[in-house]
Structure 1
Amino acid sequence: MSSVRYLYISLFSLGLVIFAVILQQSGYQGVSFLPCPLCILQRVGYLAIAIFCFLAVGIAPFRKLFHALALLSAAYGVSVAGRQVWLLSHPETSCGIDPLEIWINQFQLSKDIPWLFKADGLCSAKLPAILGLQVPEWSLFWFSVLFLVLLVTLFKKRT
């Protein structure tokens, strides 16, 4: 894959995180979108994809390694987003406070950059749909697209 494509993927992943932060700060249809623990873990997945794709541009000898790490990050994101979509369709499995929230909020990043990494919401909370889909469903869609793009291009020759 070309350097430009890695940059596009990196910028797209960063754009999704920025959109999530804007949604968190400003809300949508008068509803505040507080990030839950699984949302924070998905942000980590998008940031990892962005970082590994950016490194693939800058460190050419290790391009395949960084590509594979970005692919693993996308697979991780698919699993986390898939879990949250499952929780949305099975709200009875939620027990109120998520023990994962306490664990995530103890990390130094949650204390240093709370607007990006602090979990405050419930994973099974139904929020207003955006263009017909819940935010976790959009996240699952975009992680799946990124996973497929990275998988298909992993063994292609660089152009």
Structure 2
Amino acid sequence: MNRTFYLLMGFLSLGLVMVALILQQFGYQGVAFLPCPLCIMQRVGYLGVSFACFIAMAFQPSRKAFHVLATLFAVFGLVVAGRHIWVLFHPDTSCGIDPLETWINQFELVRSLPWLFKADGLCSAQLPTILGLQVPEWSFVWFTIILIVLVQRLFKKH
């Protein structure tokens, strides 16, 4: 597995977080996309994939271990995105004050970087679709692509 692969995967994951931040700060079709707790956890998944890929790129001896870590972060993100999609189709499961939101917002990292990690939105909020899909559905698609590529590269014969 070469360094370029990890560099591209790392920047892809960072780019997806940047798209989320743009939607949060500037909105889409006049609607601000406030991140919910599940959105924040998906960001953690993308940032974890990115971090693990950048470390794998830099350190040849432990490359396979960090590749596996990136794969685990992709699985985590896929599961969270799947749960978020389920909540979108079952809006009665999400209440106004989500215990997960309280738990996430109490971390020092969230207080230091609220523009990146603070959960303000509702997980069941129906926001405008982007090319026919809600943001969690797009996230599910991207985590699936990342996971397939990582698993394929993990088992590829050199």
TM over 0.5: yes
Alignment match, 2:109: 109
> C-alpha deviations, 1:3-52, integer Å up to 9, x for none?
10110000000000011001100000000100000000000000000000
Structure 1 position 84 matched with structure 2 position 93: no
- Cα RMSD of the aligned pairs, angstroms, is 0.8
Partner Cα distance (1:2, 1:137) in 2: 30
> C-alpha deviations, 1:74-94, integer Å up to 9, x for none?
000000000000000111222
CA shift at 1:95, angstroms? Answer: 2.1
Unaligned runs of 5+ in 1: none
- Per the normalisation by structure 2, the TM-score is 0.98
Partner Cα distance (1:112, 1:95) in 2: 26
Structure 1 position 11 matched with structure 2 position 11: yes
Unaligned runs of 5+ in 2: none
CA shift at 1:156, angstroms? Answer: 1.8
Partner Cα distance (2:69, 2:41) in 1: 16
Partner Cα distance (2:121, 2:95) in 1: 13
Partner Cα distance (2:37, 2:95) in 1: 14
Aligned pair count reads 158
Partner Cα distance (1:81, 1:131) in 2: 18
Partner Cα distance (1:94, 1:73) in 2: 24
CA shift at 1:96, angstroms? Answer: 2.1
Structure 1 position 127 matched with structure 2 position 127: yes
Alignment match, 2:145: 145
CA shift at 1:98, angstroms? Answer: 0.9
Secondary structure of the equivalent of 1:35? Answer: coil
Q: Which letter maps to 2:47? A: L
Alignment match, 1:136: 136
CA shift at 1:147, angstroms? Answer: 0.6
Alignment match, 1:75: 75
Q: Which letter maps to 1:12? A: L
Percent identity of paired positions between Structure 1 and Structure 2:
63
Alignment match, 2:154: 154
Partner Cα distance (2:20, 2:101) in 1: 18
Partner Cα distance (2:147, 2:35) in 1: 23
Partner Cα distance (1:81, 1:25) in 2: 21
CA shift at 1:143, angstroms? Answer: 0.4
Q: Which letter maps to 2:77? A: G
Partner Cα distance (1:63, 1:103) in 2: 33
- Per the normalisation by structure 1, the TM-score is 0.97
Partner Cα distance (1:91, 1:155) in 2: 39
